[in-house]
Amino acid sequence: MENEGPMDDRSHLAHLLREGDVLVMTGAGLSTESGLPDYRGPDGVRRVEPMTVSEFRAGVAARQRYWSRSYVGWERFRTARPNEAHRHLAALEKAGLFETTITQNVDGLAQQAGSRDVIELHGNLGRAVCLNCRALADREWIQQQFATRNPVFAQDAERARDLPLRPDGDVDIDPSLIHDIELVVCPTCGSDLLKPDVVMFGESVPKDLVAHCFNRLERAKSLLVVGSSLGVMSGFRFARRAAERDIPIVLVNTGWSRAEHLATRHVHRPLSEVLQEAVWDVLGDVDRDASGDRRR
């Protein structure tokens, strides 16, 4: 597909939204203004190496390391709030300009902002799943149980709370803090194989969920990718399928994208700025504050 056309980027995006039946896909870049870091820099290079599912399954020590680091980071992760980009997308959905958002994010911020039809491709950090019996457990319950079982660690961990938060919601704490950790066990079967209910590296998105997303894509007139480099196949495959079906693809992010060669447009500007303009251009008088003045 050619990257040139008679309209500039802003006009092109407004036209796409007015046409309707847009499928939106979001990634970690959507939540960076909420204080949650993304995985890759502008050049596409991964900043951190997250724990893989095979490591997590391999032994108690790996799970002790994961949950200790997650315990420290959780309080900051859970208190993140939606930013303007989240709210602009929710406003566009509410106006009926698109129906579904497929998000690769695990933070739940799109729903908090008011988006209603959100498919969580990679799960949600707000819950855990038992790898033994598949029962679910609330993340807040795990946090409380972990502190009760490890009071010395919970006290020592206060020293690490200001360390940088990582994309998985954990903190890279000093390994010397992680000793004699008692893991929280599944409240249903008693196994210590509680894992965050997210697709870890090395796992696959459930086939039925992928099929549901493909079905939604088949009904779309266009694909709008916001804040994602599509660097992993779980997201990139939807851009590839869209290109195969001649469905226009617009990318909005400030860095590299794996789907650059497939896109109709690649808008290299801050997300909140681009989406604010879309709200102004497409919703017009609908987007007014209490005083009746358009917000700018």
**How many Å apart are CA 201 and CA 213, to the nearest integer?**
20
* Active-site residue, selected from the candidate residues 12, 15, 88, 122: 122
Per the annotation, does 213 bind a ligand? no
User: Catalytic site residue 268?
Assistant: no
What is the strand order of the sheet 249-252 is part of? 118-120, 98-103, 22-26, 222-226, 249-252, 265-267
Distances (CA, A) of 140 to 150, 218, 224: 15, 38, 33
Query: Tokens 């504050």 belong to which residue?
Result: 289
Ranges of H-type helices in 95-225: 109-113, 139-149, 151-156, 207-218
Per the annotation, does 130 bind a ligand? yes
Closest CA to 170 of 71, 44, 23: 71
**How many Å apart are CA 63 and CA 55, to the nearest integer?**
8
Name the binding residues for Zn(2+). Answer: 130, 133, 186, 189
Catalytic residue set:
122
Q: Which positions make up the binding site?
A: 130, 133, 186, 189
